[in-house]
Amino acid sequence: MTDERAGAAHVALVVLLVLAHFTFRPLFRDIPIRPDLLVGGLLLATLRLSAGHAAVLGFTLGLLESAIGLEGVGSLSIVYALIGFLAARSRDLLYADAARFAYTYVFIGTWVAQVGTALALQVVPGVSFVLLALGTAAVTAVVCGAVAASLDRVWAE
Amino acid sequence: MRDIEKGRPRQQRRDILFAVAVVSISVVLSSLSIPSKMVVTRALRNSVLAPFLSVHQTWQERAGLRDRVARLQTERNELSLSVITQAALAAENARLRSTLGVPLAVPDTFVVVELVPGRPIIGDSHSFLVRSGLDSGLDAPVGVGTWQGLVGVIRSLGATSGYGDFWTHPDFRVGAVVEGSDATGIVRAQRMETGEIMMLLEGVPFQSTVADGSTVVTSGEGGIYPAGLRIGTIAGSADTATKSGWSRSYIVEPGVRPGQTTVVLVWVRNDG
C-alpha cells in the first residue's frame, strides 16, 4: 500500500470509529464493558497527527461528547485534548509498526482516558470502576485493532 | 497503519501552543455559567449532532413502544380513579367553601414539556434538557414534576429549550413538609452505601414525629416549587439510635427517579 492510500485508510478508519460511536452510543452506554470507539478513534488518529493537531481533535471530540451527554462541558474537552496531545507525544514509546503495539497503545490510552473521563464527570473511580475500565480498554483495543487490521487488508488488495 | 513515521511534523513549539490554546478554551468553557454552556450545547446539538440525535430518538421510540403503551394504560387507569375521587372531593370542597363564604382557591397551573435526560458515557446524569411548550412565560429557576412526584428544577430557559438538574444533582435542595405532621425540613440527594441514590430529609425539628410511609411534599417556600407537590415517602430514620441534638434526618424514597419519565409538568408561577 502506498503512503497516500495508507493515509486515506487511516482517516477512513478514524472517521468510521467516531461516526460509529455517536451513532450507536445509546446501545453501548448501558453495557458495563464496552468498546470506547471515540477514544479508540482519537488514539488511532494520534498515530499520524502532530501533537498539536491531536490536541485540537481531542478538544473537538470532547466538546461533542459533552454536548451529546449533557455533562462535562469544558472538562471533557480538557481530558480528550490532553489524551490526544500526550498520546501523540508518547506514541514512539508504545507504538511500532506491528499489530500488537497498536493493541497495547489503544489499551493503555483507553484506560487512562476512562479514568480521566470519570474524574472530569466527578464520578469517584472505585476499585470496581478501575477493573471495568480495564475491561473497556481491552475490548476497545481488540475492536479497534481488528477494524484497523481488516481495513488495512482491504486497502492493500 | 504502516509507514507511520512519514508525514509526522515535529514542530514542537506549534504543538505546545495548540495544546495550550485548546486547554485554555476548555477551561473557559468549563467555568461558564449554565446559560452560556447551554448556548454551546444547543448549537452543537442542533447542527453537528442533529443527525445522531435523530437516530437515537427513533431507536428509543421504537425500542420502548410496548413498555410505554403498557405504562400509559396503567397510568390512565390510575388517573381515572384519581379523577373520580377528586371530583367528589372538589364538589364537597366547593359546597363547604360556599357555606363558609370562603372564595374558591385558584389551582396551580402547569405546562407539559418533553424531557431529554443527559447520558454521559460514564456514570449517571444529573442534568436534562426540556423542549417544546416553553412559550408560556416561564421563568427559571422553576420546579418540574409529574403527577407521581418532583423531578427536578429548570435552571436556565432559552427560546425553545431549557436546561435543568434532576433532584439527584449535588446542588439540589427543596423545602419540604411531611403530610399529617408538623415536621418540616430540607430534602437533598443522598448516595447510600449500596450505591443507590435516595433522598434525605434534613433539619426536621427533634420534637416532631414522623412515621415511616408518610408522604413528603414541597413546602412552596422560596417560590421555585409549587406547594404540595409530592416528593416521596419516608423510608426510615437516617440517624443512629444514640442520636441527640436539635434535628432529625430521614431517608425518603423518591416518587420519581431520573430516567423514569420523558414528559414533565413545569409549574407556571402566578406572580399576580
What's the rounded Cα separation, in Å, for the pair B230 and B82? 15
All cell numbers assigned to B135: 412559550
Query: Are the Cβ atoms of A10 and B1 closer than 8 angstroms?
Result: yes
- Average pLDDT score over residue span A17-43: 89
Task: Name residue B265's amino acid.
Answer: L
Q: Which of A10, A78, A97 is closest, CB to CB, to B26?
A: A78
Predicted local distance difference test score (pLDDT) of residue B10? 56
What is the band of B6 on the pLDDT scale with cuts at 50, 70, 90? very low
Would you give the distance in Å from CA B72 to the centre of its chain?
21
What are residue B143's DSSP bridge partners?
A: B153
d(CA A9, CA A103): 18
Strand partners for B116: B129
CB–CB contact B15 A102 (8 Å): no
- pLDDT value for B223: 85
**Phi, psi angles (nearest 5°) of residue B106:** -85, 120
**Chains A–B, number of C-beta pairs less than 8 Å apart:** 164
Cβ-based contacts of A90 with chain B (< 8 Å): none
Give the best residue of B47, B122, B128, B262 to mutate against chain A (max A CB count within 10 A).
Answer: B122
Mean pLDDT across the stretch B88-106?
A: 84
Which residue, among A3, A27, A50, A104, would best test binding to B if mutated, counting the most B CBs under 10 Å from its CB? A50
Q: How many helices (H) and strands (E) does chain A have?
A: 6, 0
What are the residues whose beta carbons fall under 8 Å from the beta carbon of A108, sequence distance 6 or more?
A94, A137
- pLDDT for position A2: 66
Instruction: Compare B127 and B271 and report the one with higher pLDDT.
Output: B127
Chain A residues close to B127, C-beta within 8 Å: 70-71
- Distance, in Å, from the CA atom of B178 to the CA atom of B204, rounded to the nearest integer, reads 10
The sign of the CA dihedral B98, B101, B102, B104 is: positive
Cα separation of A48 and A68, whole Å? 27
B24 CB neighbours in chain A (<8 A) are: none
**Cβ-Cβ contacts under 8 Å, A6 against chain B:** 1-3
Asked if the model's pLDDT at residue B242 lies above 70, the reply is no
Question: Cβ–Cβ of B29/A47 closer than 8 Å?
Answer: no
Q: What is the pLDDT at residue A94?
A: 63
Please give the full DSSP string across A95-119, using - where no structure is assigned: --SSHHHHHHHHHHHHHHHHHHHHH
Average pLDDT score, chain A: 85
- Per DSSP, the three-state class of B36 is helix
d(CA B54, CA B60): 10
Q: What pLDDT does A139 receive?
A: 93
**How far is CA B198 from each of CA B142, B146, B164, B251, rounded to the nearest angstrom?**
22, 18, 19, 7
Distance CA B69, CA A23 (A): 26
Whole-model pTM: value is 0.77
Give the three-state DSSP class for B174. strand
Decide if B122 and A81 are in contact by the 8 Å CB cutoff: no
Q: Which residue has the higher pLDDT, A135 or B4?
A: A135
Q: What are phi and psi of B141, to 5 degrees?
A: -80, 145
Residue A80 has pLDDT above 90, yes or no: yes
**Joined grid coordinates for residue A34:** 464496552
Sign (positive or negative) of CA dihedral A13, A18, A23, A25: positive
Closest CA to A39 of A153, A126, A129, A118: A118
- Please answer yes or no on whether A3 and B25 come within 8 Å at the CB atom: no
In chain A, residues with a C-beta closer than 8 Å to the C-beta of B55 are 23
CB crowding A65-97: b at 16 or more within 10 Å, else e: bbbbbbbbbbbbbbbbbbbbbbbbbebeebbee
Question: Given pLDDT bands bounded at 50, 70 and 90, which one contains residue B231?
Answer: very high
Helix, strand counts (H, E) of chain B: 4, 12
Task: Give Cβ neighbours of residue A109 (< 8 Å, ≥ 6 apart).
Answer: A39, A43, A83, A87
Contact B245, B230 (CB under 8 A): no
- Partnered with residue A147 across adjacent β-strands are none
Does the CA dihedral B68-B69-B74-B75 come out positive or negative?
positive
pLDDT at A103 over 60: yes
Average pLDDT of chain B to the nearest whole number: 84
Residue A125 pLDDT > 80 = no
Distance (Å, whole) CA A44 – CA A83: 12
> Do residue B45 and residue A67 have CB atoms under 8 angstroms apart?
yes
